[in-house]
Structure 1
Amino acid sequence: MKNLRETDFAYQAVYRYLTSLINESVGDSGARLPSLRSLADRLNVSISTIQYAYSLLEKEGRVYSVAKSGYYALPVSSINLLHSGNDLLETVYVSTRRPGMLVLSADEPALLQPLDSPLLLMERELLRQYPRHPQPCAQPCGELELRTALAARYTTSPVRCWHADNVYIGADLRGVLEILITVLSLKDATVVVESPCDWTILRLFQASCVRVIELPLQTDGSLDPDRLKELLDTEPVRLVMVSSGLNMPHGSLAPDANRRAIARLLERYDSWVLENDCHGELGFEADTMRFRDLLAPERLMVFSTFEKFIGPEAPYGYLLSRHLNTELQRHFLLRSFRLSPIRQKAIARLYSNGRIDQHLLVLRRLLKERKGHMIQLLHERLGDALQLVEPQGGATIWAHSLRKVNLRRVFQRLVAHQVVIAPGELFSLQGLYTQHLRLSHTFGGDHDLATALGLLGDALRLESID
C-alpha cells in the first residue's frame, strides 16, 4: 500500500482489496469481514480510509454492518433476492452489483479520468487551513464559495447572469429535483421532456405523480417545433425539460437553427423551462450553443451534477434559479442536506484555479478516443445487427436493432453470461425504444470486450422475432 501511484488513492486500493475478499466468500451465509483496526494495520492505512471504503461497499449493497459486531459480505444469492424480477430497471441495478459482471449499461464518464486526486489533495490542504468548529455556520443551500463559483461559471452576459443566491446545492441530483418538483407543484401537472430521457429523472417524475409527455428526438437530434407547439397549445404544460446541449442517452447535439427555433417557441408560452446540464460539459466540442444562451432567464431554471465529470467523490446536485427563492430556501432548509463544507470548498477552488477546465480537456479527449474504438468494434462485429447513433459526447452509445428482437430476453441471456446492457425501454415511460439499447464505452476491469460483443450478437440473432 505504501507504493500507490499518486492518482491511485488508498481508499481505492482498499476498496479493490475488499471486493476481492467479498468475491472469495463462499456459501450463502454472510462472511464476516476484517475489522477497521485490523484491516488498517494489515494494509498500513488509516482507519478512516478503511471506513470510507466500507461505506462505499455498503451503499452498493455489497456489505452490511451489524452494531458492535462489524461488517459482513452480502452473498450474491442474497443480492438476487432483493428484487422481484418484474421490474427491468431493478434487475439492471441488481445485476450490476453482482461480482464479475461486465457492465455495458452504465453512464459513468468520470470512470476514465476521475478528478479525485486533485480534489482530495485540495481538501487536505483546506483541512489544515480551516480548523473544524464544534458548531459550523449552517449554509442549507450549500457552501457560499462553491455557489459563487458556479454562479460565475454560468454567467455569460449582464442579462444572462447568476449570483450565489440563485444557486442551490444538495446531497445528490435526486434530492435537488425532488425539492424542485415540490416547489413548482408538479404533482398531477403536465411536463414535456425530451425523449429518450434518463431513467432516474423519469422514475422520479413517475413516483411524484407527474404527468410526463415525451417529445421524441428526430434522427439528427433535433426537436420537432410543430409537435412542441401543438403540445403547448393543447395541453396544460407546466414545465418543459430540455438538454442544455448534449442529449443523453441519444448522444446527439441539436442543430443550432433548431435550437433557436425551439427557444423562440418557448418564449411565447408561460411554461417553466428546465435545462438539464448534467452532460453539458461532456460534448466533444466544448463550444456549443446552450438553451440558456438563447432563453431569457425569466422562466428558466438549470440543474446539473458534478458527478459526471469529477466522479463519485462529488455526488452533489445543484440548481440555478432566479425565481421562487423564498420557497427554495425554505425547502432546502427543511431537507437539511448534510454536506461537507470542506469538500465543497475544494470543488470551488478547482474551478477558480482552472483545474476543472484542464481536467475536462483531458476527459473529453479520452472519451472521444474510447468512443472511436468502441464504434469501430461495433461496426466490425455487429454492423449487420445494430444501427448506431454517432455520439457527440459522453460515455455511451445509442443503438437500434436492425431486426425486430425481444430485447428483454437479449438482456436476460447476457446477464447469464455476466454482461449487463441497458434496454432502450428504460428511457421511456410510454413504451418507446423497445428495439433500442444503450451501451457504455467506459468500464473498469479486465473483461474481454470482443467476446462480450460476440455474446451480444449471438443474443440478438437468437431472440429475433420473425
Structure 2
Amino acid sequence: MTLRGVRDFAYQAVYRYMINLINEVSTDTRVKLPSLRQLSLRLNVSISTIQYAYSLLEKEGRVYSVAKSGYYVWPLASNPMAMPSGDLLERLYVAARRPGMVVLSGDEPALLASLDGTLLRLERELVRQYPHPSQPWSQPCGVWELRAALAARYTSSPTRCWHADDVYIGADLQGVLDILIEVLGLRGATVVVESPCDWLILRLLQDAGVRILELPWAHDGSLDLVSLEGMLRGESVRLVLLSSAINLPSGFAMLPHDCLGVARLLDHYGCWLLENDTYGELGFKPPPVALRDVVNPERLVVFSSFEKILGPEAPYAYALSRHMSSELQRQFLLRSFRLSSIRQRAIARLYHSGRIDQHLRNLRPLLSQQADEMSQRLAQHVGNQVTCRMPAGGATLWLGSTHAVDMRQVFQHLLARQVVVAPGELFSVGGLHHQHFRLSHTFHGQPDLEIALAALSEALRRAQIG
C-alpha cells in the first residue's frame, strides 16, 4: 500500500487506515498495535507520519502508549480503574490516555499556540516544488536546509559557531538520545544528571546500564557546585547532563554565577557536557547566558527537539556536536530514520522566515500568563497545602507538599476522580522528590479544572502521614 498525493496528506490516510485496523482488532483485552517502523514499512511513509497519526488517535482516546513497549488499543469493556499494578510511569501513561480524564500531568507548551496551519501551507507549497523526491535515503542525518538553519541559530560567535555538518536530525528525542548514549560510550559509565530530570532521559540511561549520580537543584534555584566538584573529583565521571538555561520540571533558571562555576569545573576536570536544550527557548524572559556559551565547545554535545515549540506535528529531535562525526553519521545511517523531507524543509522555512521567532514571542507571554493564573487557582483551592514557586519558563508547575504525604496515595485517589498528576518520584532514580509533583498549567477554559483542583486538595489531605 502506497500513500501519496498532494491534496490528501499522508498522515490523514494513515489515520483512516489505523481507524479501520483498530476496529478490526478491538477485543475485551488490550491488543498491541504495529510499531512505528512496521507501519512505516507497510504503508511506505515516514516514521514521523505514523507517529503523528498515532498522536491524533491518542488525543481522541482510541489508543494509548506504554513506554519502551508500544501502542495499544483500549479494551472494549475496559474498567476506568483497571490500571496496571506495577510500574508507576506505565500507570500514568495509561491513565493519561483514557477518555474523560483531566490530565494535569502533561507538558505540552504548544497547546496554547499552534503552527499547524502554517506548517501545512508550507508543506503544500513544497509538495508542488518537490513532487517526487528522487533520493529519499540520501540525507540520513536530516535535510541540509534544516541542519543549516539550526546551525545558524546556535551560532553565537566566531569561536562558538556551528555548521550544517555538525547537526544531526532524528525521528524523535528517544531515537536521538539512544544514538548519543551509544556514540558517547555511556553504557556502564558514570554520569552526573541534574535532578529533577525528565523521566524519558532517566529511563533511557537506566536501560543502558548507566550509573547515575543526581545533582539536585536547591530550593533557591541554585546548583550545589561543591557537590558537583566532589562528584567530579571522587568519581570517574564520563559526562555531566544539565539543562541549557531552564530546568524543568522545577522551572529554575540557571544563574549566571552557576553557569560560570559549572564551566570552570568541567574545564578543570576535563569533563564533557551533554546539554539539554529542550526548553531553552521557552523561558518567559531571555536568559542572560546559556550554558553552552560559557563551557568549552570542544567538549560539548547539545540535544533538543521541535515538539515543545511546534507540537506533535513536529516530533523530530536533533543533536549538535563538533566531534565524532563519522560515528554519528554511521549510527544515524544504521537507524535509517525515514523522516519526511517535505516537513523538514517546511520547518526550515519557519526558521528562515522568522516565523519561529514570532511564534515564540506570542507563546512565551501566554505560558507566563497561564502559569500565573494556575498559581492563583492553586492558592484558592490548596492554599497552604503546597509550595508553588513561579517557574522561569515552560508549561508546568513544580509543587511540593507542605505536609508529609504518601504521594502514590494522592496519585491513586486522583485517578479515582479521573484526574492525573505526575508524582515527583518519576523525575529521580535515587528516591528524591517524593513530596513533589508536576502539574500542567496549559489549561485554557477547561470546565473541569476547578473540580480537579478541589479533588487535589482532598487527596493531599487524605494522604497525610502521621
User: Which residue of the partner structure matches residue 450 of structure 2?
Assistant: 450
Give secondary structure in 2 for the equivalent of 1:200: helix
What pairs with 1:256-295 in structure 2 (closer than 5 Å)? 256-295=256-295
Report deviation, 1:119. 1.0
Q: CA deviation at 1:84?
A: 3.5
Query: Counterpart of 2:268 in 1: which secondary structure?
Result: coil
**Whole-Å separation in 2 of the counterparts to 1:54 and 1:213:** 35
- Matching of residues 66-465 of structure 1 within 5 Å: 74-75=74-75, 77=77, 84-136=84-136, 138-443=138-443, 446-465=446-465
Whether the aligned pair in 2 keeps the contact of 1:202 and 1:428 (CA below 8 Å) is yes
Residue type of the partner of 2:307? E
Deviations 1:307-354, CA, capped at 9 Å, x for gaps: 001000100010000011110000000010010001000000000000
Q: Summarize deviations over 1:58-88 as a string: whole Å, max 9, x none.
A: 7988259xxxxxxx96336559799632110
Q: Distance in 2 between matches of 1:378 and 1:58?
A: 28
Alpha-carbon shift at residue 112 of structure 1 (Å) = 1.1
Q: How big is each residue's C-alpha offset from its partner over 1:400-457, in whole Å with a ceiling of 9 and x where there is no partner? A: 1001000101100101111000000000001111100000001478442111111000
Aligned positions, number: 428
Q: Percent identity?
A: 60
Aligned partner of residue 158 in structure 1, secondary structure: coil
User: 3-state SS of the aligned residue for 2:384?
Assistant: coil
* Alignment CA distance shift 1:339-1:385 (3 Å): same
Stretch deviating more after TM superposition (389-398 or 72-81): 72-81
- Which whole-Å deviations, capped at 9, do the CAs of 1:197-244 have from their partners, x for residues lacking one? 000100110111111110000112221111100000000100101110
Residue pair 1:194, 1:214 contacting (<8 A) in 2 also: yes
Does the Cα contact within 8 Å between 2:61 and 2:98 map onto a contact in 1?
no
Q: Residue 385 and residue 59 in structure 1: after superposition, are their counterparts in 2 closer, same or farther (change >3 A)? A: closer
Change beyond 3 A, Cα 1:443–1:85: farther
Retained in 1: the 8 A contact 2:421–2:438? yes
How far has the Cα of 1:280 moved from its partner? 0.3
Q: Kindly provide the amino acid, as one letter, of the partner of residue 115 in structure 1.
A: L
Which position in structure 2 is the counterpart of 1:40? none
Give me the whole-angstrom Cα distance separating, in 2, the residues matched to 1:201 and 1:444.
29
Partner of 2:3: none
Structure 1 stretches of at least 4 aligned residues deviating more than 6 Å after TM superposition: 49-52, 58-61, 79-83
Unaligned runs of 5+ residues in structure 2 are 1-8, 31-48, 65-71
Task: Give distance in 2, aligned partners of 1:326 and 1:158.
Answer: 24
TM-score, normalised relative to structure 1: 0.86
Residue 77 to residue 445, structure 1, CA distance change in 2 (3 Å): farther
User: Given the superposition, is the C-alpha separation of residues 55 and 385 from structure 1 closer, same or farther in structure 2, using an over 3 Å criterion?
Assistant: closer
**Which segments of 5 or more consecutive residues in structure 1 lack a partner in the other structure?**
1-8, 31-48, 65-71
Q: What SS class does the counterpart of residue 269 from structure 2 fall into?
A: coil
What CA deviation, in whole Å up to 9, does each residue of 1:264-294 have, x standing for no partner? 1111122210110000010000243101111
Instruction: Tell me how far 1:117 sits from its aligned partner.
Output: 1.3
Equivalents in 2 of 1:464, 1:349: separation in Å? 53
Relative distance call for 1:76 and 1:213 in structure 2 (3 A) is farther
Structure 2 counterpart of 1:399, one-letter code: L
> Matches of 1:53 and 1:223 in 2, distance apart?
40
Q: Is the 8 A contact 1:405 1:460 kept in 2?
A: yes
Q: If the length of structure 2 is used for normalisation, what is the TM-score?
A: 0.86
Whole-Å separation in 2 of the counterparts to 1:169 and 1:126: 19
> How far 1:133 sits from its partner (Å)?
3.1
Q: For 2:338, give the aligned amino acid.
A: R
Say if 1:222 and 1:259, in contact at 8 Å, map to a contact too. Answer: no
RMSD: 3.0
* Residues 245 and 254, structure 1, Cα contact 8 Å, conserved in 2: yes
1:384 match: secondary structure:
helix
Structure 2 Cα separation of the partners of residues 217 and 95 of structure 1: 29
User: Is the Cα–Cα contact under 8 Å of residues 191 and 210 in structure 2 kept in the other structure?
Assistant: yes
Do the aligned partners of residues 83 and 253 (structure 1) sit closer, same or farther apart at CA in structure 2, a change above 3 Å counting?
same
Q: Secondary structure of 2:451's match?
A: helix
Matched letter for residue 170 of structure 2? G
